[in-house]
Structure 1
Amino acid sequence: MSSSSSDEGNAPSTVDRLAGRLLEATVLERLGIALASIATAILIGLLAVALSGYSPLLFLNNLIVGSVGSERILARTLRFSTFFIVTGVAVAIAFRAGVFNIGVQGQFIVGGIFCTMSILWTAPLLPTGTVGGIGLMFVGTVAAAVGGGLYGALPGVLKAYADANEIITTIMLNFIAIGVVSWLVTNPFRAEGSTNVRTEPLPENVGLPPIVFGDSGFSIVGVLLTLALVAVVAIVMAQTRSGYDMVTSGYQASAAVYSGVDAKRTIVTTMTFSGAVAGLASALYVIMFQGSFIEPASIHTYGYDAIAVSLLAANNPVGVIPAGLLFGGLNSSGSYVQTYSDVPVQLIDGIVGIVIVFVAAPELFRMAAERAGLGGDDE
């Protein structure tokens, strides 16, 4: 009986100790955990490749070549990475404030259609040439932030004032965004005479200069803008009263109210801020890469993958940069392997999924332990 009681008492104690260790881990230790998780996931993936009858060494070589093997491939990797970084920051803003914004994909889509149509409708009012193009990009970027922010504010209002679960509302709003914008792009906003489901193309004077990588659908200016955005968000979240209020309202609502913070209004502000950043990601997508807005179902799932990117970065806006680069490399190399090898696409997707699970699981467990109050002192 004593042995059984001891076993029952040890189980929660072990979980509690593990949670405490993760909660107390330094930045370097958490980075080490992430790197170890990545290495383990890749080894398991290579084992799966070998068991499926393919060469793991050739597959590993294709992964490396497919992410940095040439200038054009590197441009593709960086293009993926910029979108993952900005959407990852959008998720991190909400998660860091204790609000689960699972609706970044929908906010990205809404921001994208706002950006595209505002540029197309404003173009006749501005002069052609560089100055007009800069003006149109400014209008489109502001419209994208407004569209994404408003769509993010909606679940924030529902959570703050109707106690609605933001996970459910943001997921449902993703589907609504996809459905409504699909109808708009297929019907009233569709390019006249186009066989593809897309809007009219943006004017020729709209686009980031093709510096370094030439005509590859990617501009180094996009990286600079992304890094500037990360810096701004990091400063706002860590160094301003508004950022402090966001984090406090999410994790310690009663303490926030006691200190004079309007917790409900701050939750709405957090979701609006998160949605606005998602909208900025779509502005970059439309202006730098796509040049129009396509059928939403055809858009890569940046908003969903951004959840894993943010978790890998411990919901730190600066940490999202290396996490976004990792995901950009995985997506770029996955496309390369699919094209230049006979490894089935299902196996490639499975290996990418293993990497995502392994790198995100420790941070997800850490977040759950923090919210559940595990890892405290037993004494």
Structure 2
Amino acid sequence: MYVARLALHDFRSYPEVEISLGRGPTAFIGANGQGKTNLVEAVDYLSRLDSHRVSSDTPLVRATADGPAERAVVRADVVRGERTALLELEITPGRSNRARVNRAPLPRVRDLVGILRSVTFSPEDLALVKGDPSDRRRFLDGLVVLRAPRLAGVKADYERVVRQRNTLLKSARNNRQVDLSTLEIWDDKLVGLGGELVSARIALLQDLAPHLGEAYLTVAAHADAGRRDVRAEYRSSTDIGGAVAPHDVTEALRAGLADRRKDERDRGVSLVGPHRDDVDLSIGVLPAKGYASHGESWSLALALRLASFTVLRDDDEDDPVLILDDVFAELDEGRRDQLAQLVAPAEQVLVTAAVADDVPKSLLGTRFQVDGGSVTPDE
């Protein structure tokens, strides 16, 4: 799988830009703030309907002297095997986005997810190890949705249920006369949707496990040779035992809600469910967060992305697009070379860097110079 053409209209810093791409590595070189990350962000957003940089759509639409543009448009020709599909996405903050495939409108914009699949490495990935639980939940959910796009709807429905349930609990906390008879309806929805989401997350971690340790060893190379046992284990907000199947997880969540009923009413918030869960990352016998060095944390974050790439490729024997957004400046020479060796064989690798010297030669490939919104081939 690869992107053969990318066209942007009022996306981030670009009024208009169109570039042709091919298989293998492509490097976008330019000083900070010139727009190179905006290009690869557009590819990643078209894949997942989520940005690795921001949590809302508003910053994606170009700001002009008269205020933000009305909408942003991202178009890409995506080649998979012998077939090419034109993907189009209109991003309109405050209104519903719209998507088309081969000019035909999709009934729901989330139906676009997974047609183009990408895995992105970026400086923000350090948060996977050092950041909050929400960073790790976002990583898991982004990947489970790419593997099974229908889970985008499950996730959206679950988040809506949690908001509605929290509103009811908050009202009950502030006013003990509030009728909580409808809480059981929200409970049923929460545990049903939550069970499916948690089950998918656990299955994902099980599939990642064998690739994670191997990727960590390869990226870390000699630097961390004494600490080889890397693990990623799911930590639920309630006791789910060894449950993996959606029905079993659902019943465990139901029992957890019953146990925390008083606490939830006292605090006015939902305390059980996938929105409260985390992933415990460890290197050796110690948790990575708080104990891993900066280099070890980077190696683990990169290993999580590399394992993700392998799992997605194994799902249907097709390489996702690999995006390396300004990561080489963050790595020492040894980790740069190890990462380059691992990703160079991918069908398409998109790289951004401030200077070409930061990019290993095996990944320079086709080069574009990015300067003030202008993207020109580097002959």
TM-score of the two chains, using structure 1 as the length reference = 0.24
- Structure (1/2) with the larger strand percentage: 2
- Structure (1/2) with the larger helix percentage: 1
**Which structure's relative contact order is higher, taking Cα pairs within 8 Å and 6+ residues apart?**
1
